[in-house]
Structure 1
Amino acid sequence: MDRQLQVDQQSLVSAWQERLPALMEDGDSFSVQGDAADQNSLLIHFNAAGRQGYSLDFRCTYVDSREVAVNLLDAEQDGRVADERRDAVQLLAQQYTRQIHECAQALQGLTNP
């Protein structure tokens, strides 16, 4: 059975921009864009609410029409590279990874019709 992703990247970006806010914590913000290097990948940037000034960048790649692989690319605090081993970064990374997976699942009607 062919489970290749049949949705164009721009439609995916739009769907993610609509769906992701419902899964986010209050005050957090994000941006989603297509990965120019890979039509099946999205680049998702999160800004965490609060005084710590964390931002995290992820690549979300559609392995097929139902499954995504999520990779943390970068973590910053106040515009400087943050230590990804710190508990605060680990917790945010886990939270955002979960939200990415939830969003991908919520959009299965689009990606896996």
Structure 2
Amino acid sequence: MSKSDQLTLDQNRLVEAWQRTLPAVLNQSDKGEVYADEADPKSVRVHISTAGHSMYSFDFHCTYVDSRELQVTLVDVERDDQTVDERTGIIQTMVEDYVRHIHECAQQLHALTSGS
């Protein structure tokens, strides 16, 4: 990996871009919020709340390995503000779907993150 392949974007600009782009890739009824990761300038935190009666919320930690590759880690799943077992089938399906949406958002921001 070349030195130029590192993410060099200011974290505040990155968060703003994610906040603009994430709602467009999520299901229309879901709500996404993006925050800076205070401990890592190459990372953002993504909080997704589901719509309807399920009242699930998902927290993801997203780290740029380089300007193109995003590592997404599930941090927590809650329902009605209570932590739930994320290993159940329905939760795993939802997590996979949201990870796909997060990667889609990162792809849309590639021109920004690659510095071109």
TM-score by length of 1: 0.97
Structure 1 residue runs of 4 or more that deviate by more than 3 Å after TM superposition: none
- Give the deviation of 1:49 after TM superposition: 1.2
- Give the deviation of 1:71 after TM superposition: 0.1
The residue aligned with 1:8 is: 10
The answer on whether the counterparts of 1:26 and 1:49 sit within 8 Å (CA) in structure 2 is no
The residue aligned with 1:91 is: 93
SS state at 2:33 partner:
strand
The residue aligned with 2:75 is: 73
Which AA in structure 1 matches 2:30?
Answer: D
Which AA in structure 1 matches 2:59?
Answer: D
SS state at 2:103 partner:
helix
The residue aligned with 1:53 is: 55
Question: Aligned partners of 1:11 and 1:42: how far apart in 2?
Answer: 11
* Percent identity of equivalent pairs: 47
Question: Aligned partners of 1:78 and 1:68: how far apart in 2?
Answer: 29
Question: Aligned partners of 2:40 and 2:91: how far apart in 1?
Answer: 26
TM-score by length of 2: 0.94
Which AA in structure 1 matches 2:71?
Answer: A
Choose between structure 1 and 2: higher strand proportion.
1
Question: Aligned partners of 1:88 and 1:56: how far apart in 2?
Answer: 13
Question: Aligned partners of 1:20 and 1:94: how far apart in 2?
Answer: 16
**Unpaired runs of at least 5, structure 1:** none
Count of residue pairs the alignment pairs up: 113
The residue aligned with 2:30 is: 28
Instruction: State the Cα RMSD in Å.
Output: 0.7
SS state at 2:42 partner:
strand
Question: Aligned partners of 1:36 and 1:5: how far apart in 2?
Answer: 16
Question: Aligned partners of 2:65 and 2:9: how far apart in 1?
Answer: 13
**Unpaired runs of at least 5, structure 2:** none
SS state at 1:39 partner:
coil
